Amino acid sequence: MYRLKKTLKAHVGAFERDFMFRAGEEGAREYLSDFVGREEHADARTSLEKALSGFAIRGYGDFRLEKFDAEFNTIEISCMNSAEAWPFQDYNDLQREPTCSYMAGALTWVVRNILAPGNPLDLDLSVHESECYATGARQCYFVFAPDAVLRSRFPEYARPRRMVPEQVLRLNEEILSKNLELQNINLSLERLIKKKSEEVWRAEENYNLLMRLSPDPVALVLPDGRIHSMNPKGLRMFGFESSEEAQNESMVSHMAGGRTAWDRFIWQIEKEGSVHDFEVEFQNKDGGKVNAIISARFTDLLPGKCVETIIKDLTERKQMEKQIDDAKSESEFLNDLLSHDIMNFSFSALHFMNGLWKSQRLSDEDRRELAKAMKDIQGAYELTSSVRDLARIKHMDDTQLIIKDLKHLLAEASEETRRLFPDRTVTINFDRSVDPRYVRCTPLAARLFTNILMNAVKYDSKQEAVVDIDVDSIVSEGQVFWRARIIDTGRGIPDSEKQRVFERFHRLDQVVPGTGLGLYVAKFIAEAGGGRVWAENRIEGDHTKGTIMFVLMRKVDERDIALMPRRP
């Protein structure tokens, strides 16, 4: 509208105001007919407010009804953003007098139709723009009143003329209407372009800020490998002193494999849309090797199509991983070495002390002292074996499972238990004549049964400890298991303690030697092989008559036996 008014001003001079006033009346008649005189409202004020909302919808501005006196035909309307006035301030082209003649005509037509809907042209009503945004005022202010009232209030008031010179009439009203539409479209486009430009500018600023603050190297690379830009972290990784130096380099010359590796990298992005954790080795400016992974995608930025890359330097991490692996290996070696030696020394000490125990020359006091020493050595043996087993089992996975005959596991555990109690008679009964019963388990499975049998013997106060073992096959949760039942006649486990006995360092009796780790380790070994272990009363309802320890181990069929590694 600004350019249209300037054009009319150049062609018709002072008559521009009258012509635009008439155009405003015609425009309001055409575009606002749905809002004026078409709806039945309770009063004229409501009708006028509804009509003014139509101006806002069509982008003419937000008009506000300041005063409404239907009795004396006096109405005042303000607007802070008139589409006809604001371009003059926006282009720094302030006017000497109010210029919103088009809006004045449109508003006049609307007010006439509301106050005199039957014959609006006969109503004694005119308009004066007392303030105008185009002159530098903070708003446009329109006063509608009878002609005499306006002349008395505003000495500078001039009523718009209905007749215009022939020079103006030759302008085609249809062209004017189309020009007005185009002006509105241009105005909307200008606003949209301005808004989008600001959004793009803010997005670029945010992107550049993220690049600078990123803890990882970030680089924009052209598809041919030339570096366009790089954040400070990337400059340090490659050894560049400035962004200008990086722009003279090619990513291809710093990538192991050169052009072939880069082309494969680009091909993968084109194929999949993006790449993640693409392993690559770079060489920095000083010749140093940098192990890294890249995540990348294509993006359209100012230089055109670019490869947006985020590089994660793995050099320090790989060095740390190697140090951790070396330390872990050394720790495992030392643990195995110490465990092996301590267990051997403990077992030898127990063997010789057992021989000494049988000597007839020992006094009762000597035997009591010897019993204390034997108890401490046995505790050291159990603690060492538990620590060793825990260290091993926590680093095992399914790939380390083996197939063993359950009968052999029970026999090995039984012999180990008897050796640990040389001063007592230990009887362990189970059927050794049955066919092989293969289970999938960890290499430490025998230790599971040893720990359970040791507990059964320790907590049986009788000189002869008798333990019965039976095995059957069951199905649990859709899987087939071998179930071993280890039945003792010791003091039993209270019902409130049956789950807690498998907790670390939990002990039922502080007098009985032990570490509180035996059943904890047994539970770990069972679950590592996909099994379970739990405790129940030997006699239902009476925990003092002994305990049954249930152990489930995954059953192996004939097909699995051929695929799994076996150890004797």
The Cα 489–Cα 467 span in angstroms is 7
Q: What angle do CA 360, 366, 368 make, to 5 degrees?
A: 110
Do residues 120 and 134 touch, judged by C-beta distance below 8 A? no
User: Angle CA(328)–CA(331)–CA(337) in degrees, nearest 5?
Assistant: 140
Instruction: Supply the pLDDT for residue 252.
Output: 87
CB-based contact 16:8 (threshold 8 Å): yes
* Dihedral sign of CA atoms 164, 169, 173, 175 in order: negative
Tokens of 223: 């598809």
Query: Tokens at residue 450, please?
Result: 């040893």
* Residue 434 Ramachandran class (φ > 0 left, ψ -120 to 50 alpha, else beta): beta
CA dist., res. 258 & res. 272, Å (int): 22
DSSP symbol at 21: H
Structure tokens at 195: 């808004």
Q: Write down the CATH number for the domain with range 214-313.
A: 3.30.450.20
Contacting residues for 154 by C-beta, under 8 A, at least 6 apart = 128, 130, 143
pLDDT score recorded for residue 331: 67
Per-residue DSSP letters for 297-326?
EEEEETTEEEEEEEEEE-HHHHHHHHHHHH
Considering only CA atoms, which of 221, 219, 224, 225 is closest in space to residue 238?
219
Cα–Cα distances (Å) from 136 to 88, 92, 95, 99, 389, in that order, read: 9, 10, 8, 11, 88
User: How close are the terminal C-alpha atoms of the chain, in Å?
Assistant: 97
pLDDT, position 160: 75
The kind and range of the H/E element at 203 are helix 173-213
CATH of domain 2-171: 3.30.1380.20
Q: What residues contact 427, with CB distance under 8 A and at least 6 apart?
A: 464, 465, 466, 467
Residue type, 82: S
Alpha-carbon Rg of the chain, whole angstroms?
48
Distance CA 12, CA 143 (A): 26
Q: H or E stretch including 20? A: helix 16-31
CA 238/CA 284 separation, integer angstroms: 4
Q: What is the dihedral of CA 396, 399, 405, 411, to 10 degrees?
A: -20
**DSSP string over 235-292:** HHHHT-SSHHHHHTSBGGGGBTTHHHHHHHHHHHHHHHSEEEEEEEEEE-TTS-EEEE
Q: Where are the domains of the chain?
A: 2-171, 214-313, 315-395, 399-568
Burial 223-236 (b: 16+ CB within 10 A, else e): eebebbbbbebbbe
Q: What angle do CA 226, 232, 237 make, to 5 degrees?
A: 70
CATH 3.30.565.10 fits 399-568, yes or no: yes
Judge whether 134 and 85 are in contact, CB under 8 Å: yes
pLDDT of residue 420: 80
- CA 127 to chain CA centroid, Å, is 62
pLDDT at res. 392 = 67
- Contact predicate 559/513, CB 8 Å: no
Chain centre distance of CA 372:
59
pLDDT at position 548, please?
A: 95
Kindly report the pTM of this predicted structure: 0.40
pLDDT for res 78: 94
Give just the sign of the alpha carbon dihedral 117, 119, 124, 130.
positive
Torsion region of 533: left, alpha or beta (phi above 0 gives left; psi -120 to 50 gives alpha): beta
Spatial separation of the C-alpha atoms in residues 556 and 562, rounded to whole Å: 10
Q: In this structure, what token pair is assigned to residue 245?
A: 């130096």
Ranges of the chain whose pLDDT falls below 50: 36-41, 163-169, 568
3-state secondary structure of 227: strand
Q: Are 227 and 245 in contact (CB under 8 A)?
A: no
Amino acid (1-letter code) at residue 305: K
DSSP string, 457-468: HHT--SSEEEEE
Report d(CA 47, CA 113) in Å as an integer. 10
Instruction: Give dist(CA 313, CA 65) in Å, integer.
Output: 66
